[in-house]
């Protein structure tokens, strides 16, 4: 029932206008980013990502991701978490063979912070991991903030082992085509906005800027599959599988 969740209005008026969301779509995106569990704090989106992980690597007698991680040692999976997957990170961090990284702007958090915390600093478009390093690669709400999506997806494929899987979420509206929000001027290197800039997060930092509003051509362009979809909260979990 609704009493089990914390539900907030996450989508701002500006973002709703920028995305041209109907009131119904805005409601569903709000649920996606809130509907937080009172116990673990995970949003609807991150809970669905957790379910996709358990679907791809099933373990008997597992009720939730915490149970799955506790029993996952026998799978001996090597996992890359590229930027924290929300509150899931607190559980994923207990996987024995996990490589966790972030890509923060240096002006917000200096590299020394990540050195002290022993957090890798990785750019998803140019990962330092060797080829064929991981069984499972995870990220959530990253690609819409990446200028070169093709490079990012190719890097995820590159670091997967044969038969490895990348699971990720990104905002996606299936009834329209992808909208490019900004480009880079090749001569000056400056960002040119193709529409009014929109941002995700607590402030309008450049690293939170949305470069892409993904639509139905996203799947075919990057050869993606949908592993899991919950229409009530507008959440898709996309999959890349290394052959």
Q: What is the pLDDT of residue 48?
A: 97
Q: Which residue has the higher pLDDT, 113 or 241?
A: 241
Q: CB under 8 Å to 223, separation ≥6 — which residues?
A: 240
Q: Residues 174-196: pLDDT tens digits?
A: 999 999 999 999 999 999 999 99
**Measured CA distances, 101 to 114, 118, 129, 139 (Å):** 9, 9, 11, 10
Report which of 208, 230, 207 is spatially closest to residue 29, judged by C-alpha positions: 230
pLDDT in tens, 16-59: 998 999 999 999 999 999 999 988 899 999 999 999 999 999 99
> What pLDDT is attached to residue 200?
79
Residue pair 154/228 in contact (Cβ under 8 Å)? The answer is no
Confidence class for position 3, pLDDT limits 50, 70, 90: low
Q: Are 169 and 45 in contact (CB under 8 A)?
A: yes
Task: At 50, list the tokens.
Answer: 């957790």
SS3 category, 23: helix
Q: 3-state DSSP call for residue 69?
A: helix
What mean pLDDT is predicted for residues 58-73?
94
Name the average pLDDT for the chain.
91
Q: How far apart are CA 152 and CA 129, in angstroms?
A: 13
pLDDT in tens, 94-118: 999 999 999 865 445 556 566 656 7
pTM: 0.92
Residue 119 contacts residue 175 (beta carbons within 8 Å): no
The neighbour count for residue 161, using CB atoms within 10 Å, is: 16
Is the pLDDT confidence value at 89 over 90?
Answer: yes
Q: How confident is the model at residue 156 (pLDDT cuts 50, 70, 90)?
A: very high
Asked if 167 and 136 count as a contact pair (C-beta separation under 8 A), the reply is: yes
Angstrom distance (rounded) from CA 43 to CA 36: 4
| Rounded average pLDDT over 227-231 | 97
């Amino acid at each position: 029932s609704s009493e089990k969740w914390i539900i907030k209005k996450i989508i701002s008026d500006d973002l709703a206008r920028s995305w041209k969301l109907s009131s119904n779509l805005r409601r569903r995106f709000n649920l996606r980013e809130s509907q937080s569990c009172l116990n673990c704090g995970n949003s609807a989106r991150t809970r669905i990502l957790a379910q996709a992980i358990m679907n791809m690597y099933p373990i008997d007698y597992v009720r939730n991701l915490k149970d799955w991680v506790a029993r996952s040692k026998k799978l001996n999976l090597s996992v890359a978490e590229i930027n924290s997957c929300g509150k899931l990170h607190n559980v994923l961090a207990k996987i024995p063979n996990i490589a966790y990284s972030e890509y923060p702007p240096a002006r917000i958090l200096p590299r020394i912070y990540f050195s002290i915390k022993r957090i890798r600093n990785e750019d998803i478009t140019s990962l330092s991991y060797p080829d064929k390093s991981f069984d499972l690669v995870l990220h959530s709400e990253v690609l819409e903030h990446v200028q070169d999506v093709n490079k990012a997806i190719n890097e995820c494929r590159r670091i997967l082992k044969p038969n490895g899987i990348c699971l990720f979420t990104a905002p996606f509206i299936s009834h329209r085509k992808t909208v490019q929000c900004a480009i880079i001027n090749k001569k000056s290197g400056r960002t040119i906005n193709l529409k009014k800039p929109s941002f995700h997060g607590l402030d309008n930092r450049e690293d939170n800027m949305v470069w892409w509003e993904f639509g139905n051509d996203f799947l075919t362009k990057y050869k993606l599959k949908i592993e899991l979809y919950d229409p009530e909260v507008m959440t898709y979990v996309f999959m890349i599988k290394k052959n």
